[in-house]
Chains A and B, each alone.
Chain A
Amino acid sequence: MMYRYSLRGRGDLTEWRDAARAYLMAGIVPDVIEWRTMDDADGLFGFDDNNLPPPHEAHPPLSVPPSFIRLAGAVICHSDPTRFALLYRLLFRLMHGRHLLQMASDTDVVAAQRMAKAVGRDYHKMTAFVRFKELPLPAGTAGRRRFFSWFEPDHFILARVAPFFQRRFTDMDWLIATPKGSASWDGETLRTCDEPAEKPDLKDETEDLWRTYYASIFNPARLKVKMMTKEMPKKYWKNLPEATLIPDLIANAEASVIEMGKRAASEPLPFHHRIQEAAARAPVPSAPAAGTLSALKGEARHCTRCDIHCLATQTVFGDGPADARVMVVGEQPGDQEDLAGKPFVGPAGKLFNDTLAEAGIDRCSLYITNAVKHFKYVPRGKRRIHQKPNMGEIRQCRWWLMQELELVKPEVVVAMGATALFALTDMRQKLEDVRGEPMALADGRILFVTVHPAYLLRIPDEAQRMRELDRFRKDMNAVQRLVRARAPYRSGPPNAS
């Protein structure tokens, strides 16, 4: 037999869901149900003609994936009269295959997705193109400000979109009227009804300012009318206060660009010359005295001795007291150091700090620097992949490291990692062969070699990492002992910085 069911069809999912549930429980196939709305042209059928199969008491409760409820909630708002049958067909088929909606190229799924998309677009355009006009309060009264809007949506989306306006315009009263119903908010209750409304005639003076803005923000040299009408179709124009300007803006665009071209480069006003003179008179900040660490740091800021500087954010120079007894040399700044402009502040720096604290060494007493002063990396999407500096780059950057050594005159130099070792000694030995044994540098300083803390972070095996961390800590203790064993004060005069 044929079933016939009439719905109000105003975007309310429950009326369809109740009927669909009854049909489905009775196992009624989609082909034999005729879904109608009250708006259907012949209007012959009313709700009285609705025939549902007798209820099935024993039927287990029906369940559908949440994605179907979401999809149906959108599709039901579409104005296409076939939406009810389409949804029932999907529901019926879902009972035989729960993955139906994931079959993105299925004809019914595609049709439903298209309708949902159209409803989504209509919703979005309504949030965009509603224009409120203020209704002045009667003279002498105070209270919440009142606003009114007339809008013409394609689909039955008013109840769906009304909460958006409530969330957005909480502190004012508003009413949105449409040919498919109206919604209002008074600060306490959001009301919607689906009675068709009529377009009123209202004025709002602020629209004039908005039109001024619209005309001025437009750049006539970049006319792209098609792009505009694609996103703001003409059907919306009649309710947009700014749209009346569009024809003239387009018609005059070319002339205003030509006009602009003719006005090229006139003589600047006195204002400009006064600024230029003031800038020329501005005192040049005094440079720090030559031969100090600050002066050296200043020079290094503009270093272009190798190509690494091209991609780095800034030179990351050494940091610490100019009379430090210990100088620590790492490889090169990393991602965080490059941004902060300070050595050892990233993950390896944190590990280094922790180890120092455990060994009882005050980081502030150390002069900490790197063999290479710029961060070398390759950009990969949102990240930067660290690249090892090559020998040429290390040799170029040695220019700075040697001057730091000259100025700080540390008693002990700690090389962390192979790059630092190479920069200080030209040695390309395996770290393990020289690690932990104090060596004499040419100028009487002691060199102590250990691993770079970043190496410790990369050890995947937990137990091995703990062992290596422990060795690193012992290395730091050894450095501490080396310093203590030497006389606490250097013989020469202290360095100024």
Chain B
Amino acid sequence: MKKSLKERLAILSDAAKYDASCASSGTVRRDSSSSGGLGSTEGSGICHAYAPDGRCISLLKILLTNFCIYDCAYCVNRSSSNVERARFTPQEVIWLTLEFYRRNYIEGLFLSSGIIRSSDHTMEEMVLIARELRTTHNFTGYIHLKTIPEASAPLIEEAGLYADRLSINIELPTDKGIAKFAPEKRPDGIRQSMGKLRLKIEEMAEPTLQSKRRKKFAPAGQSTQMIVGADGTSDATILGTSARLYGSFGLKRVYYSAFSPIPDSSRNLPLIKPPLMREHRLYQADWLYRFYGFEIGEITASQPDGMLDLDLDPKLAWALGHREQFPVDVNRADKERLLRVPGFGTKTVKGVLSARRFRRLRLDDLKRLGVSLKKVQPFITCEGWTPHRLVDRPDLAAMFQPKPEQLSLL
């Protein structure tokens, strides 16, 4: 008997939940007031709900189908898994997107799919959905399409005309890992697709000679995801792969997804609690690399095995290993040095730079800027405050270690 729409929605959203990305930000501003249709995007994304896993629900994140001819060990939808299978028709996906959107449940659609028959066949159906939403239904909300590995170039180009963001998941940080866990995927093919996509995005962003207007092509760029903890790859290797991806393909984001046990799991994979703290530290390190001027090597040098310290955030770990660079004078240090102070974020640094033009800053000023004094005090000097060689204290690290907790069993 055919499953109801509700049953299939349950299956095909359950199948999509291992994709970490749900962002709806970074695209162009547009709205429906001139078109008379439905939808708007206003720069920053909106999280319309949060699930008890703490993750933002911004988009209707579903699979077109969870039938798949690939057999990637880490994936809940791999062909050898015994999960229930289902598929939507394109019309059903369109209906769900529009009805959810009208009720303000979502910012738009994040559509992915298992690979059925061939890559092109699957990609064609996904492009059809995006095209119908944009043209027939006058929908100006957010659309994120997962591009299918090996899909042909014209289809990817058409996808980019309708979608805000395109993405393709590298999934594992090393080619060796991909060969082991995703035998049908070709890592060099995935990277070449990302490369082509970057060239296309850049080409379309050039103003045309005639109209001087830039064409819209995947205005929110491309992103990818890596699974963390399915194999033994170190954090240093993972972050090295990220640096390569950011530099080579202009990715907007690399998502890290702590490997989470899946139903009917393959025997090759660990049945563990997802390493959430590790995932968190990787995101922090990723931010240090992209917004704080750190090199990957600096971030991962603090531990000999290339893993990030789970007890200390990576910036603090770096500072404790480089005490000779502290204390930093809040009233004189340049932006690059301020950004390296544990406890200072980019906004704080902006506030400090602005405020100190008018007066010499004291601890009180920093407190009003929202800084946790306890955290920054050992690392800074300011008017009326010198840390008295605090940074040399042998127990400095211990001051920041989390309180010991009783171990809990899974």
Contacts and interface: CB of A to CB of B under 8 A. Distances in A.
Contacts of B258: 222
B46 A170 contact: no
A382 B271 CA distance: 36
A219 interface: yes
Nearest to B279: A222
B40 interface: yes
Contacts of A68: none
Interface stretch (A336-344, A415-423, A480-488): A336-344
B368 A105 contact: yes
B396 interface: no
B82 interface: yes
A268 B13 contact: no
Contact of B38 (A169, A246, A257, A340): A169
A250 B249 CA distance: 39
Given A168-B40, A170-B35, A264-B265, A384 B247 contact: yes
Given A228-B51, A341-B192, A166 B33 contact: yes
B102 A128 contact: no
Contact of A381 (B10, B102, B289): B289
B247 A214 contact: no
Contacts of A132: 102-104
A128 B46 contact: yes
B365 A105 contact: yes
A128 B50 CA distance: 11
B10 A253 contact: no
B13 A213 contact: yes
A339 B248 CA distance: 8
A266 to B, nearest CB: 5
B141 to A, nearest CB: 8
Interface residues on A, range: 35 or more
A382 B246 contact: yes
A274 B187 CA distance: 25
B294 to A, nearest CB: 10
A164 B18 contact: no
B354 A104 contact: yes
A18 to B, nearest CB: 30
Contacts of B61: 217
Contacts of A207: 103
Interface in B65-87: 67, 69, 71, 79-82
A221 B274 contact: yes
Given A107-B368, A340-B195, A169 B102 contact: yes
A222 B192 contact: no
Interface in A239-272: 240, 242, 246, 249-250, 253, 257, 260-261, 263-269, 271-272
A103 B5 contact: no
Contact of B13 (A216, A253, A267, A313): A216
B17 A217 contact: yes
Nearest to A103: B358
A345 to B, nearest CB: 9
B401 interface: no
A45 interface: no
B80 A222 contact: no
Given A107-B368, A228-B51, A228-B52, A260 B9 contact: no
A198 interface: no
A96 interface: no
B56 interface: yes
B267 A265 contact: yes
Contacts of B243: 379
B31 interface: yes
Nearest to B250: A382
B32 A171 contact: yes
B42 A164 contact: yes
Nearest to A256: B263
Contact of A224 (B192, B244, B276): B276
A387 interface: no
Interface string A202-216: 001011111011111
A366 to B, nearest CB: 23
Given A219-B51, A242-B49, 8 more contacts: A164-B40, A167-B42, A213-B100, A213-B105, A225-B54, A228-B50, A260-B261, A381-B246
14 contacts: A103-B359, A105-B364, A105-B368, A132-B104, A170-B33, A209-B5, A209-B99, A222-B53, A232-B50, A249-B51, A264-B271, A272-B71, A339-B198, A340-B196
Nearest 5 A/B pairs, CB to CB:
A227-B54, A224-B54, A379-B247, A105-B365, A339-B195
Interface of B: 5-6, 9-11, 13-14, 16-18, 31-33, 35-40, 42, 46-57, 60-61, 67, 69, 71, 79-82, 96, 99-100, 102-105, 138, 184, 188, 191-192, 194-196, 198-199, 243-244, 246-250, 258, 260-267, 271, 273-274, 276, 289-290, 351-352, 354-355, 357-359, 361, 364-366, 368-369
Interface of A: 99, 102-107, 110, 124, 127-134, 145, 147, 149, 164, 166-172, 204, 206-210, 212-228, 231-232, 240, 242, 246, 249-250, 253, 257, 260-261, 263-269, 271-272, 275-276, 279, 311, 313-314, 336, 338-341, 377, 379-384
